[in-house]
Structure 1
């Protein structure tokens, strides 16, 4: 029988590196479905196991039939001399001459998978599935025969695909790979330019540049963080012991207090080396946190309301902090939108430690404008939710950090942001 599948360069590289569990995050039209179908077919034909069983799971059963069934029949060689497969149309099942089977399923009916054993499974468009289909149903089905799983998809925010991507990246037994349209060359540049013109920036970042967060509706910083990731500026960022660590705080009592730890490197680069957040704690707790981290500290930046005196003690938190050995610089009190613009100006100069700053980065990614469903448009203010404290602290750094530099005024902020447009 003639050869029906010849992998592209990136597909061939994937096949050489796949592990027992693999997560592939790929741009649209990459060819991930074709790759996955052919891996199942090859395993079904080459296995020496008795009654080998493979499954291809799409978000919906009708999607499996519409997208995968024709591919499966084509690459099995239906209608060609030497085809060793019989197809059951009612069950979307391919039966091989050696006793192997490949069957299509929909994640919308996970009970159809219960009680089965599996040697191989492909999850297609994992972002549209509940995570429990994997953890509760399919993972146990692979156990007794030590089967493998391949997860493929394009991001759609933080969901099952994102969970698997993060989980896999921390485990040596898993393989992960991300393929962006700007890097693979699979799609012609003219086609990408046309898609970019027709789509919103957030949609394009999601579908073609594999951003987990850029398509969050109304996100303020999703595109900028996507740029930092592509430039390799989100990863391991060691603390330089020769430079001070500056902190920026959003102070809360009943709600969260957030602290960013940043080093200002020569050449105007900023390195977010750590992040901490807790709730319901007094300043004594955070003073101990600073001591425990053991950094050589520079400036500490706080919001303007740190001067407000508390009813219970008659002292302001600024005075309490000074008693604990923390001397705060007070961030100027400017409108929130001006602070957001200051963050936008400063973000391209940042590097983030992906591990220590994970929670803070997530907050920056998800910080978004409020949407008015009745008006069908965004409000001029951000949503106040779990993201607010981390972003407020980062905003105070962008607005309030001052670094003494030869030849500049001592009151000039690091990003030179001026909401009033005056000459600096």
Structure 2
């Protein structure tokens, strides 16, 4: 039974028809996700056949739950009308229904205070502002006794609890996931959206209204470009075309990571980024085996200029070792890092990424960012060296080192008999 005060809009009705035991909704501001969630709790409490049904609405802070949700809960229960079948405890922010069911509001600022209860239904609001362990350590076990359900709602704020739950939910066929952007729903007047876009920074607008998980990454070099790839459906299932060569681009580490991108040049100036691999502390023989195991028909293998440096232990360069393993490298031009970053920016709009096989590399491209100078309160001109660097450096070498036939001089090669589209592995 739906509250007479709640008439679902089109998108809310779609969600209600599709929800599963575990559901994740990533929605723009003013979508109506709080109203939808409150009414789902009320409906479940009224319609349950279980004795002593227990529902919870969890906000990041207890104060937020009281400010945002408490009045909505009373309103949609019909407080002050003959239809109201609940009594309200103002001290505990609790609604007790005539059939013994109960809905209570909580804050996530003290996760341990939520332990020790069982729950039949729970709503997490603004999950991005909560510790991830509230779900995994506290609430998920509380749902096990009676196979309770959970609904996660929120707007992105970078890669945090909401993103982790969103990604895991998308990978699980038993979960329901949905994303609603303001540019697609038509809920907010277009003139209001235009005004908001003028008054907010591009990153703030993309986060709040276009549901971008990457826009909130301060100083990100490629955040907006990867966000566009998401919106345009270019991060998806991209199988390799077995009739075309696969080109690889490497960032070669010694004690740290080696990263390899696998890319196909497709007709029309498009690039299919079909695979990615990264490992730490392995020799070139390991990566040669990786190439063989992938089974692609290879074209060019692009490496950084320092592959020519001879190692003290062997007196050989990694270029020579690779050649002995059957890998003939093209040497990417040694140009300033910023020029390489600009080359990546120019290349990304033409790229389609395989969402599953390239997942770690995609996340690195999204997070790669400038160093922040805390003392000056501003970003430096150079990138931060962290876990993202190897994947992005390898992609940068592809951007500056790969040339299609007829598009200009080919890069310097390690072998005079190299042909950019020949199989040299």
What range describes the TM-score normalised by the shorter chain of this pair? over 0.9
Query: Normalized against structure 1, the TM-score is what?
Result: 0.95
Alpha-carbon offset, residue 138 of structure 1:
0.9
Once the two structures are superposed, the pairs formed by residues 235-384 of structure 1 within 5 Å of their partners are 235-384=236-385
**Aligned residues of 2:301 and 2:327 also touching (Cα < 8 A):** yes
For 1:409, the equivalent position in structure 2 comes to 408
**Could you say which residue in structure 2 is the equivalent of 1:187?**
188
Cα distance in 1 between the residues matched to 2:150 and 2:172? 15
Q: Distance in 2 between matches of 1:401 and 1:307?
A: 18
1:105-116 correspondence runs (5 A):
105-116=106-117
Distance 1:118 1:409 in 2: 65
Which residue number in structure 1 is paired with residue 134 of structure 2? 133
Instruction: Say whether residues 1:96 and 2:97 are aligned partners.
Output: yes
Matched, 1:68 2:63: no
3-state SS in 2 of match to 1:291: helix
**Structure 1 Cα separation of the partners of residues 250 and 113 of structure 2:** 51
Q: CA deviation at 1:341?
A: 0.4
Q: Which residue of 2 aligns with 1:386?
A: 387
3-state DSSP of counterpart to 1:57: strand
Q: Say whether 1:77 aligns with 2:78.
A: yes
Q: Which deviations, in whole Å up to 9, do the C-alpha atoms of 1:129-162 show, x marking residues without a partner?
A: 1111111111111111111110101111111111
Helix, strand or coil at the partner of 1:55: strand
**2:3–2:43 contact (8 Å) kept in structure 1:** no
Using the alignment, how far apart are the partners of 1:192 and 1:229 within structure 2? 20
Name the CA shift for 1:123/1:48 in 2 (closer, same or farther; >3 Å): same
Bigger drift between 209-218 and 341-350 goes to 209-218
- Aligned 1:123-162 pairs, distance under 5 A: 123-162=124-163
The change in CA–CA distance for 1:347 and 1:2 in structure 2 (over 3 A counts) is closer
- Separation in structure 1 between the aligned mates of residue 387 and residue 35 of structure 2, nearest angstrom: 40
Q: TM-score, normalised by structure 2?
A: 0.95
Whole-Å Cα distance in 2 between the matches of residues 310 and 140 of structure 1?
53
Shift of 1:82: 2.8
> 1:98 and 1:294, CA in 2 relative to 1: closer, same or farther beyond 3 A?
same
Distance change in 2, residues 1:90/1:412 (3 Å): same
Partner of 2:31: 30
Q: Per-residue displacement from partner, 1:251-298 (whole Å, max 9, x unpaired)?
A: 110011100000000110001100001111111111111011110000
Deviation, 1:112, is 2.9
Compute the displacement of 1:39 (Å). 0.5
Determine the C-alpha separation between the residues in 2 that align with 1:412 and 1:143: 59
Q: Secondary structure at the match of 2:198?
A: helix
Q: Which runs of 5+ in 2 are unaligned?
A: 413-425
Tell me if the contact between 2:204 and 2:215 (Cα under 8 Å) persists in the aligned partners.
yes
Alpha-carbon distance in 1 for matches of 2:97, 2:288 = 67
Question: 1:110 offset after TM fit, Å?
Answer: 2.2
1:353-378 deviation per Cα after TM superposition (whole angstroms, max 9, x unaligned): 01000000000000001111221211
Question: C-alpha distance in 2, partners of 1:81/1:282?
Answer: 75
Per the TM alignment, residue 113 of structure 1 is displaced from its structure 2 partner at its CA by: 2.1
| Count of residue pairs brought into register by the alignment | 411
Deviation (angstroms), 1:412: 7.7
Query: CA RMSD, aligned part only?
Result: 1.3
The yes-or-no answer on 1:202 pairing with 2:229 is: no
User: Counterpart of 1:421?
Assistant: none
Q: In structure 1, what is the Cα distance between the partners aligned to 2:50 and 2:408?
A: 75
Question: How much does 1:411 deviate?
Answer: 2.9
Partners of 2:344 and 2:218 in 1: how far apart?
19
Deviates more, 1:256-265 or 1:207-216: 207-216
Q: What does 1:39-54 correspond to in 2, within 5 Å?
A: 39-54=40-55
Whole-Å separation in 1 of the counterparts to 2:82 and 2:171: 46
Question: Which residue number corresponds to residue 59 of structure 2?
Answer: 58
